[in-house]
Amino acid sequence: MSTLLIAIGAGLAFILAYYTYGKWLGKKIFNLSAAYVCPSFKLRDDVDYVPTSKGVVFGHHFTSIAGTGPIVGPAIAVMWGWLPALLWVIFGSIFIGAVHDFGSLVVSLRNNGQTVGDIAGRVLNRRVRLLFLFVLFLALTIVLAIFGLVIAAVFKMYPSAIFPCIIQIPIAVIIGSYLHKKGKNLLIPSLIALAIMYLTVIYGDVGYLHAFNSSLASWPIIGWVIVLLLYSYVASVLPVWLLLQPRDYINSLQLITALGLIVVGLAIAAIFGGSPTINGVQVMESGARPTLEIIGPTSNFAPAGAPLIFPFLFITIACGAISGFHCLVSSGTSSKQLKCESDARFVGYGGMLLEGFLATLVIIACVAGLGLGVKSGDGMVFGEAAWNTRYATWASSNGLGAKVGAFVDGAGNFLVAMGISKTIANALMGVLVASFAGTTLDTACRLQRYVVQELAATFVRQPVADAVSGEKTEQPLFALDSIRVTTNPATWFTNKHVATIFAITVATIIAALPSGAVEKSLIQHLSDDGLTGIWAWMTANAGKGGLLLWPMFGATNQLLGGLAFLVITFYLWRRNKPVWFVLIPMIFMLIMPAWAMYYQLFVGSDDFPAWITDENPNELLIFIGAATILLEAWMIIEALLLWPKTKGILEDTAEESMLQSTGPSGMNC
């Protein structure tokens, strides 16, 4: 029963926080108003800026921020103990992550839906803006380069998830077109879409569909990466209402109902025990139901072969507690779709709390659900023996397969306890993981397009206001005065197609790069097998290049969270608002990732050699890691110099319409 009580307690804590702390933030700090004219109306273009009901925006927002982060992060962090992981998820979500997402969304709403990186140019200064945008570009490039690999790996592990994920695309287009043209109620289309998606989970791997899934699962990684990035290009440039928004919405229906099934299965397993049979085979000789109990350690600050719990717990669990990537979703896409400012608490604060609850369920699935039985060899193992199949050592638990597998097996056991077959349970959990990853990939591509366009605008002649005086000049940041705007190549990248093609090209090139170990393999293939060796290398290794930069993504991602807090803090500081509740998380989220990056670069351990002293150093990783630390230090110095000069002094408000009493937004809330 303890596992069920943990889930109930966490859920109640999140609900209480939403109606207390979240309400205080919305009413007393951000002064949310239904009379404010949102960017979706002011700048409506029916491509990026589209007024949308809060339920649909919530679906887009939740599935975009969740990704695989709240699954893989907690699934590995339980090695330090389920209690530290759980405490970070609950308190991190309530006091740091949800505040970060909510604040980023509101600040963007008040600045015409611009990203926090662009807004930094007004609330701080233009140099910080440029530095921030470079960090955003780097982080999103890593996401685009790696998530194709992640989705391909999930499809290879769970081929039955392929057809259900593919069918979501035409369903989304049909629903998006229908709702945009007809403007009808969402209830009936939502129920139909949900029913179809669950039917594809149940019957999507039988007969010819099994052969279809198997053939696609055999594709080389690079093939999946290219196809997924091309899909992301299409999703990025199409009107948001046609594909991205409805796909995220219908995904959210399936994913949230799947979470509901996990909770019901957890309750049944906690009260009655696990299933006595799996796919008709008795799992225990006695025929009894396995008992649900916590099999993972309560705390283990120094598991063998693991990095330090401080700061790496706070880097490993990002999504599920706080993730800098969320500030991009809040300020990049969600802020362009909300039609009523008062919906921001539901989407920004509530979306993060739901993700925190997902991370809580992942922890329970890994440290308790796993013990209900996993296959080992020709039989089933339970309890600690089941735990050791996934968590015998840090190294064995650190791969994507082990992390995803621990969650799928554990959560799947909850569904099996309800009477759902193991085959369908695994298919549903595989679809959940792949769908989360897919929605993150296409949203990240759209966000990268915005970042490239904002960076390009830096080099185009335009009015720029000084952060302190508010005085405008017509000087570009770097473009030569003798070059006319119309002949400036930077203007090419302000075009959405050029910006998106550039984003996916960079990601594809990085994905295709080999690591040091693979380079040796390639040379060996060439010398031994010639062209046959090249093909063998491509099918086996191309597409994994994102792993070159992946070791630094955790720290870089969390650094984004600290920098977003920096922008939110200055926004409030200029308005004489309280800042303590963002200042403390900001300091924490600037220190932890910098500490982790410094440790990885220069300190290391026997099990994790420092990047700079490694026998086979990754020069690209070292260079970008060191540059990231320097960029952070530069931005902090700029902020410290500006801090005493900006209290109570509003930045230029040309991009921020203050609360208005007229306009369509107030009438549609």
Token representation of residue 644: 């005493």
Question: Are the CB atoms for 38 and 106 separated by under 8 Å?
Answer: no
Q: Which amino acid is at 122?
A: R
Neighbours of 662 (CB within 10 A): 9
Question: Are the CB atoms for 148 and 224 separated by under 8 Å?
Answer: yes
Q: Which amino acid is at 125?
A: N
Question: Are the CB atoms for 647 and 573 separated by under 8 Å?
Answer: yes
Residue-wise DSSP of 477-533:
SS--TTS-GGG-GGGGGGSHHHHHHHHHHHHHHHHH---HHHHHHHHHHHHHHTHHH
Q: Quick one: pLDDT at residue 184?
A: 67
Residues paired with 653 in a beta bridge: none
Token representation of residue 199: 């039917």
Is the Cα dihedral 26, 32, 34, 39 positive or negative? Answer: negative
Q: List average pLDDT for each run of 10 residues in the chain, which is 669 residues long.
A: 92 98 96 93 94 93 90 93 97 98 97 92 89 89 88 90 94 88 77 93 93 92 91 94 92 93 96 80 71 93 88 94 95 95 97 97 96 83 88 75 86 93 90 90 94 87 50 42 52 90 92 60 57 64 78 90 96 95 96 94 88 84 88 92 92 51 49
Residue-wise DSSP of 81-105:
-HHHHHHHHHHHIIIIIHHHHHHHH
- 512 CB-near residues (< 8 Å, 6+ apart): 222, 225, 542, 543, 545
**How many residues are recorded in the chain?**
669
Calpha distance 573→174 (Å, rounded): 46
Q: Quick one: which of 500, 497, 485, 493 has its CA closest to 453? A: 493
Calpha distance 377→271 (Å, rounded): 29
Calpha distance 238→445 (Å, rounded): 12
- E strand or H helix that includes residue 504: helix 496-512
Q: Quick one: pLDDT at residue 540?
A: 67
Calpha distance 274→98 (Å, rounded): 34
Calpha distance 127→125 (Å, rounded): 6
Q: Quick one: which of 364, 384, 385 has its CA closest to 376? A: 385
Name the CA dihedral angle for 10, 15, 19, 24, rounded to a multiple of 10 degrees: 40
Q: Quick one: pLDDT at residue 474?
A: 44
Neighbours of 493 (CB within 10 A): 21
Q: Distances from the Cα of 506 to the Cαs of 143, 220, 234, 551, in angstroms?
A: 12, 20, 16, 19
Q: Quick one: pLDDT at residue 542?
A: 72
Q: Quick one: pLDDT at residue 476?
A: 42
- E strand or H helix that includes residue 187: helix 187-203
Calpha distance 544→431 (Å, rounded): 22
- 546 CB-near residues (< 8 Å, 6+ apart): 142, 145, 146, 147, 148, 149, 507, 510, 511
* Strand residue runs (E) in 158-197: none
Token representation of residue 138: 């780097």
For residues 604-625, b (16+ Cβ closer than 10 Å) or e, as one string? beeebebbbeeeeebeebbebb
Q: Quick one: pLDDT at residue 103?
A: 98
Calpha distance 553→325 (Å, rounded): 11
Q: Quick one: pLDDT at residue 181?
A: 75
Calpha distance 562→586 (Å, rounded): 5
Question: Are the CB atoms for 197 and 168 separated by under 8 Å?
Answer: yes
Dmax (CA) for the chain in angstroms is 86
Q: Which amino acid is at 66?
A: A
Question: Are the CB atoms for 573 and 646 separated by under 8 Å?
Answer: yes
Is the Cα dihedral 409, 359, 304, 594 positive or negative? Answer: positive
Name the CA dihedral angle for 598, 603, 605, 609, rounded to a multiple of 10 degrees: 80
Query: Percent helix, strand, coil in the chain (nearest 5)?
Result: 70, 5, 25
Q: Quick one: pLDDT at residue 6?
A: 96
Calpha distance 243→442 (Å, rounded): 10
